[in-house]
Amino acid sequence: MREVNKERMLAEFKEIVAIPCHGRQERVVADVLYKKLEELGFSIKEDDAGEKLGGNCGNVWAFLPGNKPGAKRILLSAHMDGVEPCGGTTVIQKDGVLYSDGTTILAGDDKSGVVGILEALRMLKEDNAEHGDIQVLFTICEEGGVNGSRCMNKAFLDSDVAYALDGEGAPGEIVVGAPGQYYYKIGIHGKKAHGGVEPEKGINSIMIAAKALAAVKRYGRIDEETTCNIGIIHGGEATNIVPDLVEIQGDVRSRNPQKLEALRDEVVNTICETAEACGAKVTKEVVLRYNPFYIEKDQLVVTLAERACEMFGFTPDVTQTGGGSDANFINAYGVPCAILGTGMSNVHTVEEFLKEEDLYNSALMAYGILLAAAE
């Protein structure tokens, strides 16, 4: 059975996670990936997503023409940014598992996807294997709202199917459904007054916010496909001032569009109406971050991934997730896109870890899809 070059792949993972990858500051890592893709024979483009988002880099697109007529066109994607604290990661190896030294995230989310794609492309080249047209998309600003893919140049998309290597399951995981998300920010405006001299002249926005939040009856896990989170509350200046402003931020998610809109209205209206009934004024901002997607299990994007599992002995796990990713927008823009597991665990924390086996198998999974597309 074909194997990856483990030494090369591990060295590249350590190299790339050591590069700063803050959102809107992906230029350095993008330049490194430019060079690697050019060495593999790809032509490179960069879109204007960075300009739209106030960053120093756009999404990186790479293209390699196929060498087998009629083979399926494949897009492989991963994101370049990471959550804080990121960049300058020192990788610690222990018993076949990769960790950071505890001062940063490991950045397996999503450098495991980046490195998996690069190794799969090298294997294809080394084997002189037949393949269809290949697109690679390395995105910016995935963390914190999937903004890089939202702002991508849709005209660059030119594939039959796509795969985002950005899932937490082990290789063999094939995610075919994900929720949409509404973000909301609600301002509860009371009236400022001296808290000791004349509190009766004030309208306490914190107490009103507490009543408004207590009126929200459904939050957390609503059902298997729907969630609600109240994530940020901020207000007040000092203990001797009746607070005149509280801001509440949160999101609702569901894989069902009707449930998503109904829960949005329920949560936002409950908070706003309760606050107004208590004498506060209310401002609100409600934004659709991304739409849900679902792919039927008999679609090409799924069957090619299942064929890759068959090639390398992985157990396919066709499933759905509760988080958003670049796949939401790739699907929305017309290319069926599944999410592939790369084994990343405890992501978004300094306790993040990644099994070496999963890192190597991520490359095999991507490589198998490229081979299956040419069968």
Cite the active site residues: 81, 142
DSSP notation for 167-228? ESSPBTEEEEEE-EEEEEEEEEE-B-EETTT-GGGSB-HHHHHHHHHHT----EEEETTEEE
Residue given tokens 């290789």 in the structure block: 171
3-state helix, strand, coil in the chain (%, to 5): 35, 30, 35
Copy the structure tokens of residue 104. Answer: 């940063």
Q: Cα torsion at 117, 119, 123, 124 (round to 10°)?
A: 20
Give the burial string for 350-370 (b: 16+ CB within 10 Å, else e).
Answer: eebbbbbebbbbbbbbbbbbb
Cα 354 from Cα 201, distance rounded (Å):
57
Angle of helix 356-372 relative to helix 300-312, nearest 10 degrees?
120
Question: 318 — phi, psi (to 5°)?
Answer: -85, 115
* DSSP character at residue 152: S
Question: 343 — phi, psi (to 5°)?
Answer: 90, 5
Cα 114 from Cα 100, distance rounded (Å):
18
Strands 97-100 and 91-94: antiparallel
